Amino acid sequence: MDTVIENPPLVSVNRCYHRLLSGCGLVAALSFASMALLVCGDILLRNLTAYSMPWTVEVCEYLLMSATMLAAPWLLYCDNHIRIDIVLRLLPLIWRIAVERAINLLGMLICGVLTAYCLRVTFDSASQGSLVFKVLVFPEWWLNLPMIVGFALLALEFGRRLFMRSQSAGELC
């Protein structure tokens, strides 16, 4: 019996994590599609009828920010994020691994700090009862939720990349 069986709870956690980040990618894609439909619908309504949807631009602004914050952890997870690794490719393997770990550590720390800061700003905004007054009126702290989720998931993914062995993007997504 030379086969190694992975711990079932770890498999379950990995599966849930994969589904969570895949769900983030799906929601981001649906958000981008919704933006396209909203803008096209608003243009058609304005040009063909006397009606328009004045809230379209505002909703698209919020969808753009939310979709970006949800897509970022998924892209990092799938290793499809933008990388400038010209110098990294020239390094010997041992140095490349060390630099990759340093980058992941730095990314985890930065995203952790940004998550904490977003949480602080969100609690301050909620305690003050601040509202956004545009076409739509709602509590200001709602706007911070996608940033909290996005930066927290980015910190988690950078941490996962820091402590897990290398896997190719094909194995994950």
What pLDDT does residue 3 have? 55
Q: Residue 81 has what pLDDT?
A: 81
To the nearest 10°, report the CA torsion of 143, 146, 151, 153. Answer: 160
How does pLDDT run across 56-82, given as a tens digit for each residue? 999 999 999 999 999 999 999 998 887
Beta pairing partners, 137: 133
Among 15, 62, 17, 14, residue whose Cα is nearest residue 35: 62
Q: Where are the domains of the chain?
A: 8-172
Centre a 10 Å sphere on the Cβ of residue 51 and count the other Cβ atoms it contains. Answer: 9
The residue that leads in pLDDT, 41 or 169, is 41
**pLDDT band of 167, cuts 50, 70, 90:** low
- pTM higher than the cut 0.95: no
Matching residue, tokens 């305690």: 127
Please state, rounded to an integer, the average pLDDT across all residues of the chain.
Answer: 90
Q: Which residues fall within 8 angstroms of residue 123, CB to CB, at 6 or more apart?
A: 141
What mean pLDDT comes out for the span 93-116? 95
Band of residue 172 on the pLDDT scale cut at 50, 70, 90: low
